[in-house]
Amino acid sequence: MLREKTLAVIGSGMMGGALACGLTQAGAMLPENITLFDTDQEKASQLAAKVGAGARVSDSVTNAVAGVDLILLAVKPAVVSQVLNSLTQTIQPNQLVLSIAAGIRLDTMEMHVAAGVPIVRAMPNTPCLVGEGATAVCLGTNATQDHLKIALSLFSAVGLTVEVTERLMDAVTGVSGSGPAYVYLMIEALTDGGVKAGLTRATARALAAQTVMGSAKMVLETGEHPMQLKDNVTTPGGTTIAGVAALERGGFRIAVIDAVEAAAKRAGELS
Ligand SMILES: NC(=O)C1=CN([C@@H]2O[C@H](COP(=O)(O)OP(=O)(O)OC[C@H]3O[C@@H](n4cnc5c(N)ncnc54)[C@H](OP(=O)(O)O)[C@@H]3O)[C@@H](O)[C@H]2O)C=CC1
Ligand SMILES: O=C(O)[C@@H]1CCC=N1
């Protein structure tokens, strides 16, 4: 179903790039069905080369979206309304707008499109690039179950996808939209710890990243509570409990909770 669709990606930055490349790498979309637009045309051309042979670059946002099935808004939140305003006459109700902008609500976007245009709001994350994204979607007033199916098939091609009510989108942004950054800090810190303990940086980084990936897979695949999985690692009187105690002394858990809360609050401010 998705492979026959045409897609315009507006904004060739980190997330537009992660989705466009992730979708073609997964074989979910054909490069020749993807048109890229960015105010910096060179950036769009560089992305097109990564998306694959046949990916198009448009010289204007109007030309990019005219007649395509799907329009992915991957610009910064502050310019979403401006981009939609410039396209009010162009976007038709038989097209589907997908916005990934943090904080920008459906009702705000609906004010800038013609009557009947369906919009799906989504919050993906950068691991979509490697098919391991986590995305939440919610439907605008004119979006039907068919539009939901299309959105789910698009984001599910590059990872896990859930549907939430819109009031939870800022929370999603705090957990999984921004979450990869917290995990990278953890990987970097684990790596530094390994280097401090005598490992080469390359070895420490590989071990740290694989440990994060393996631990995440254990949570997803065993269905066990993370606390149980943690207990399974902590041999009585052993090494792990010494490390866990050090993390608790450093306020690790509350620091992560505060990070999610701060990011969610910031998403709310962007609206
Ligand atoms: N990065 C992430 O992990 C995630 C980001 N998002 C959302 O995705 C969106 C994009 O974020 P991100 O990719 O990080 O940002 P980037 O700045 O990397 O990408 C946005 C791109 O859009 C370009 N741009 C600016 N104005 C226009 C315009 N009018 N028309 C077309 N292109 C334009 C920007 O150019 P210039 O740099 O010159 O402004 C830039 O190249 C944001 O709304 C963000 O909230 C959602 C989930 C995760
Ligand atoms: O930092 C940001 O605002 C975007 C939204 C979620 C991840 N990156």
- Are 160 and 186 in the same domain? no
The DSSP code sequence of 157-183 is TTEEEEE--GGGHHHHIIIIISHHHHH
Domain residue limits at 57: 2-172
Question: Across-strand partners of 97?
Answer: 71, 119
CATH number for the domain spanning 238: value is 1.10.3730.10
Mutate which of 19, 35, 38 to test ligand 1's pocket (most atoms within 8 Å of Cβ)? 38
| Predicted pLDDT of residue 243 | 98
Q: Which residues sit with their C-beta closer than 6 Å to ligand 1?
A: 10-16, 37-40, 43, 61, 74-77, 79, 83, 100-102, 123-126, 177
Q: Tell how strand 34-37 and strand 56-57 pair up.
A: parallel
- Are 163 and 183 in the same domain? no
Give this complex's ipTM: 0.99
- With a cut of 90, say whether residue 1 has pLDDT above it: no
Closest to 256 measured CA to CA, from 171, 170, 168, 183: 183
| Predicted pLDDT of residue 179 | 98
Residue with CA closest to ligand 1 atom 16:
13
Angle between helices 179-196 and 201-222 (to 10 degrees): 130
Domain boundary residue, one of 146, 172, 198: 172
Q: Stretch 70-78: mean pLDDT, rounded?
A: 98
- With a cut of 90, say whether residue 271 has pLDDT above it: no
- Are 236 and 141 in the same domain? no
Question: Across-strand partners of 161?
Answer: 135
| Predicted pLDDT of residue 36 | 98
198-224: pLDDT as tens digits: 999 999 999 999 999 999 999 999 999
Output the CA 44–ligand 1 centroid distance in Å: 12
Q: Determine the Cα–Cα distance for residues 124 and 69; give it in Å rounded to an integer.
A: 20
Q: Determine the Cα–Cα distance for residues 222 and 187; give it in Å rounded to an integer.
A: 23
Q: Which token pair is 92?
A: 């038709």
Q: Stretch 12-28: mean pLDDT, rounded?
A: 98
Nearest 5°: the CA angle 101, 139, 271 is: 35
Residue 187's pLDDT band, with cuts at 50, 70 and 90, is very high
